[in-house]
Amino acid sequence: MRTTRGRFRLRSAALAATLGAGLLLAPLPAQQAVAASTLTNTGFEADGTGTATPSGWSTYSAAGQNAASFTEAGGRSGGHRLSHWSSSAYKVETYQYLSGLADGTYTLSAWVRSGGGQNAAYLALRNCGSAEQRTDLPVTSSSWIRVVTSVKVVGGGCTVSINSDANAGNWLNVDDLAFTAGSTGLGVKGVDLSALKKNEDFGAAYKNASGGAGDPVALLKGAGANYGRLKVWVNPADGYNTKAQVLATAKRIKAQGMKLLVDFHYSDIWADPGAQTKPAAWAGHSYAQLKTDVYNHTYDVLNALKAQGTTADMVQIGNEINTGMLWPEGSTSNWTQLAGLLKSGVSAAKAVSSSTQIALHLANGGDNALYRTWFDNATAQGVSYDVIALSFYGYWHGALSSLQANLDDVSARYGKKVMVAETAYPFRLDSKDAHENIIDLPSELVSGYQASPAGQSAWLRDVMNVVEAVPNGRGLGVVYWEPAWTAVTGNGWDPTDPSSGNAWENQALFDYDSRLLPAANWFAHR
């Protein structure tokens, strides 16, 4: 942390004297610890403060910068941690070689912090008889975050490695590592393509990273996406996001070998925590009629998808329903009625396909108190579901550590899979059209993540890393929201106003020249 830098400078002379006056001036050979089959000194407690090569570990720097790796007070648990830091640019690796392992898949977990800014800062599993696996450290200057990476061990050996390629003053902390049998990964690496049909109808075209024309669904699948998400409105003013458009885009998604997530808003327009407006056709209906409306609408859309051979693999019963749906009857102020509406949707989805997974979706993914209150009520009312889905936008919903704490808690508390059903991040701040973007000021950004292609990539990578680290394999995946919603005249924010602009094009995964951005490549990661 930044608060320890001054203390490090005060003890740097003593550290140099202990380790040798020439340590900072000339390269030292790698100091190889004795290999074992169990990771040792995982909390860096064996040596106290100021040790460049902790007990059980080895340190290497081609430029003789071993002192950039050191133990110091302030562990996540216990009294100490490993830190990488130097007042000048540095490259250093702290590692431990394991031998005598049974062949199989293993997972490394560690608690980490980083101030960001490095050329590279990551954990790695290498020399394991298979391809090296890495997990980059997220930018989190105050709170610890757990990250994981897994590898297939062939031949009995594996190196656990902590790496920095850093600029002057960049730092990281690592503590409480574990190396255990098992694997990690994400089952859902999704893209919300709800705006795609209208975008293309109004002239949008898409290109690969090199500028060659391509089908956007195929381009995203080629980058590693394996799920497509489509929202459904009942009778919207612009005629899009209805059953007809969902059916058409679902064919394209399934033709690419991707799975399908259908997101029911139960509205004619955007549904979110601040707006859950009933469809105009249902406006005068009683609560009993609304339950029938939900069932019939859900069944109609899903059965049509099944009939054309594109059965939904997952269904959201409502969109960002923090405050309920179909207000006022389905407000959270009347949980009995809200539960009845949810049960109608669940019953319809399961009647079409018993294997379709049911997700319940809230926003504010870092707010654990909200999730506990909401899902305690859903549980008490006997609402059946399979997945807890969250929206998490870091510029609105808090720190990555808050997301992790919430995911860990609710997955264990309710015994459910969890997923981030919506996230996104800008690759620039200016608008391509005349409409002001939702995020368009430097002050609105998440600390450590620039509005750049690299910053967008790092954000998606780190959200995926947090979900992957949910214990017991309950981290299901991540869906990027509207990656193909580029600025096209006619496809604006307001479906009731054809002249409205797009407030989101700077968070798409296609740039202002319609080229696929580097962030999309993270879908291929595990």
pLDDT band for position 66 (cuts 50, 70, 90): very high
Among 321, 386, 379, smallest CA distance to 353 is for 386
pLDDT surpassing 80 at residue 25: no
Q: Which residue has the higher pLDDT, 118 or 31?
A: 118
Task: Please pick, among 72, 93, 320, 468, the residue that the annotation labels catalytic.
Answer: 320
pLDDT band for position 217 (cuts 50, 70, 90): very high
pLDDT digits (tens, 9 = 90+) for 231-252: 999 999 999 999 999 999 999 9
Q: Is 45 a catalytic site residue?
A: no
pLDDT digits (tens, 9 = 90+) for 77-94: 999 999 999 999 999 999
pLDDT surpassing 60 at residue 19: no
| pLDDT on residue 348 | 98
Read off the pTM: 0.92
Q: Which tokens hold the place of 161?
A: 């490695």
pLDDT surpassing 70 at residue 143: yes
| pLDDT on residue 81 | 98
pLDDT band for position 525 (cuts 50, 70, 90): confident
What is the residue-averaged pLDDT of the chain? 93
Question: In the block, which residue shows the tokens 């007990």?
Answer: 55
pLDDT digits (tens, 9 = 90+) for 382-431: 999 999 999 999 999 999 999 999 999 999 999 999 999 999 999 999 99
Task: Please pick, among 72, 93, 329, 422, the residue that the annotation labels catalytic.
Answer: 422
pLDDT surpassing 50 at residue 17: no
pLDDT surpassing 90 at residue 506: yes
| pLDDT on residue 18 | 33
| pLDDT on residue 23 | 32
In contact, 126 and 54? CB cutoff 8 Å: no
Sheet order of strands, 171-181 included = 69-73, 80-85, 171-181, 104-114, 140-153
| pLDDT on residue 526 | 83
Of the listed ranges 15-19, 342-346, 469-473, the least confidently predicted one is: 15-19
End-to-end Cα spacing for the chain? 30
Q: Which tokens hold the place of 457?
A: 């990539």
In contact, 209 and 515? CB cutoff 8 Å: yes
Q: Is 320 a catalytic site residue?
A: yes
| pLDDT on residue 35 | 62
Span 92-120, mean pLDDT? Answer: 97
pLDDT surpassing 50 at residue 7: no
Q: Give the C-alpha separation, 301 to 102, whole Å.
A: 50
| pLDDT on residue 483 | 98
pLDDT band for position 224 (cuts 50, 70, 90): very high
Q: Are strands 90-98 and 158-166 parallel, antiparallel or unpaired?
A: antiparallel
